Amino acid sequence: MTTPLGPAPGLPDARVRWLRAEEQRLLDWGARAVDDLGFGYLDSTGRIDETAGHPLLVTARMTYVFAIAARRGRSDAAGLRDHGVRALLDRFPDREHGGWVSQLERPLGRKSGYDHAFVLLAAAAVRDAGTEGAALFDAAAAIVQERFWRADEGAIADSFAADWSDPEPYRGANANMHLVEAFLAAWAATADADWLRKAGRIAERLIHGAARSHGWRIPEHFDEHWRPLLRYNADRPEDQFRPYGYLVGHSFEWARLLVQLSDAFSSCGRESPRWLGDAATALWERALEVGWSPDSRAGFVYSLDWEDRVVVDARLHWVVSEAAGAAAALARRGVPGAAVWGERIWADIESRFADPAGSWHHELDAAGRPSARVWPGKPDLYHAYQAVVSAQGEA
């Protein structure tokens, strides 16, 4: 998120004012998560949930958020950013084997590519914030490239045992998608075009290949030979990170990332593959067509099966956040209807997700009531904050 663009087309002045206020309200909430070990997991009341422990994911995401907030002039954000950097340098590293533990309370758990993607994302955002930020970036870049990246596949492996043995015979779109975002941030921080090449290879495999061949629905799960596993976790459809089926939220997230990748290629004097823009629009249009109100209730559903039947009808805050981000990116590209959809999505967020008590409800049931089937608590500013910031004009 580096290029000032101005507010997304089609947003009324009142909406822009609301977004500015909402940005600060979200950051006020996130500041509650600070504790001695990094950032804790906030429950729905804004208290740290001691039973949730300290996931690496939460501290990495919050460090990233406060790095962006510091760049945007929030007075206390630099201190919160630096607190996160120190936690990522001092608390979470695996001193014996390298990399980062996925949870402080379970240091012998598996090493996750998904979690390490967020360490690299945070590290890229803080690379220029002093020697500690630079050290974190160098360490994260080395681990991701040496341990997770598979040059022969043009993607990353998903997980390993704590000592880097026992590679999982699974490949996931989710972890690879977040590495695309992290690689884009690393390119923005370094101007090293190799990061763009890696991001482009992942996008080509998962979108130009797999999504295109599945009617612009993104398969989430693959075996180690990249054969789609369309029934994976059919018995666990509400899984937070590896749910069964087609996730409209990831189509929106990918649409945003493909626009950013295309812009990045162009900005460094390289020809942007034409398919990037076409694919972003196709993903967006398919997700709108089948994901909004397929059960005749307002909002985007969490997941569908491969015949577009609703699997999990919960409305997740990250899904609508990514829809808002995609709308802003595509509206700036002049995609028909994107600006109108952008305001429609923000109206849904303001009326149903933005909790007057603080932050956003992370989950609503199909009737619009706060729920916790998939995602309990309110620990995560990453999706909401990015959506608010992108709509205001930082991409």
Catalytic residues: 250, 383
**What secondary structure letter does DSSP report for 308?**
S
Task: Check the CA dihedral 96-97-103-106 and report its sign.
Answer: negative
Residue 294: helix, strand or coil by DSSP?
coil
Q: What is the DSSP string of 51-108?
A: GG--BHHHHHHHHHHHHHHHHTT-TTHHHHHHHHHHHHHHTSB-TTTSSB-SBTT-TT
For residue 229, the number of C-alpha atoms closer than 13 Å in the C-beta half-sphere is 18
Q: Which DSSP string corresponds to 164-203? A: S-S--SEEEHHHHHHHHHHHHHHHHHH--HHHHHHHHHHH
Using left for φ > 0, alpha for ψ between -120 and 50, and beta otherwise, residue 53 falls in left
Measured distance CA(138)–CA(324) in Å, rounded: 32
CB 41 within 8 A of CB 53: yes
